[in-house]
Every structure is written in structure tokens, then in C-alpha cells.
Amino acid sequence: MARKKKARAIVREFDEYFGTGTLDDWQRLCRDVGLAGYYPSITQCRKALRTVHINIHDLLDAVKQGRHPPRFGNPQQLAEYTVNSGKIFPKIKVKAMGPVRALLRHII
């Protein structure tokens, strides 16, 4: 039961962080993960985010602290860290084309 509660909390926290999904929200996400440059559309933001391997839990913690989250060199490194740390975002809660979808990597 505690695991489900934790999963609901992280989903809620990301939804509150991200906002309604405007271009400004997507651009802020790009900045928050440490992507340099200007992304003039949601599609460009989504494409850029596919190149970044970060843990969503760490992203939310980093934003609170005013820093960028740790980045991993590839999906395998992220997967190993995620499994070992237990910081797994519940895949069942992912909205079809939302921002979480752009950040998720297959880890298990």
C-alpha cells in the first residue's frame, strides 16, 4: 500500500510541476533538465528531451533545489540507477503524449 501511495504522490508532484502543457511549460522542462538552446515548438521540445536520460524523481528534487538533475550517458546507465535506487515512475500513469512520456525510458 505504501508503494501505491508513493507512486500517486510522484505522479501528482510531476503534474503540479509541469502545469497544463503549454509551450512555456515544455520549454521550462527543457531548461530544467539542462538543455541549452531555444525550442520554438512542443515538438522540438519533445525531440530534444528524447536525448536526455534523467530520473524523474531526481528532476523534481533538483527543481526544488534550483539545480539541474543528474544526467546519465545512456538509457542503460539510467536503468541501472533507477532500479538500484527504487526511484521508478509508475508507467501505468503515463499520459499518451505528455511530458513524462518524453522522459521515460524502458528500464525493466
Residue 87 has what pLDDT? 93
Nearest residue to 63 (alpha-carbon basis) of 32, 87, 35: 32
Is 46 within 8 Å of 25 (Cβ atoms)?
A: no
* Backbone phi, psi, residue 42, to 5°: -65, -40
From CA 55, how far away is CA 61, in angstroms rounded? 10
From CA 107, how far away is CA 72, in angstroms rounded? 13
DSSP 53: B
From CA 82, how far away is CA 34, in angstroms rounded? 19
What amino acid occupies position 2?
A
Instruction: Going residue by residue through the chain, which has 108 residues, state the pLDDT in tens, using 9 for 90 and above.
Output: 677 888 889 888 998 998 888 999 999 999 999 999 999 999 999 999 999 999 999 999 999 999 999 999 999 999 999 999 999 888 766 665 467 767 777 666
Is 69 within 8 Å of 58 (Cβ atoms)?
A: yes
> What's the pTM?
0.86
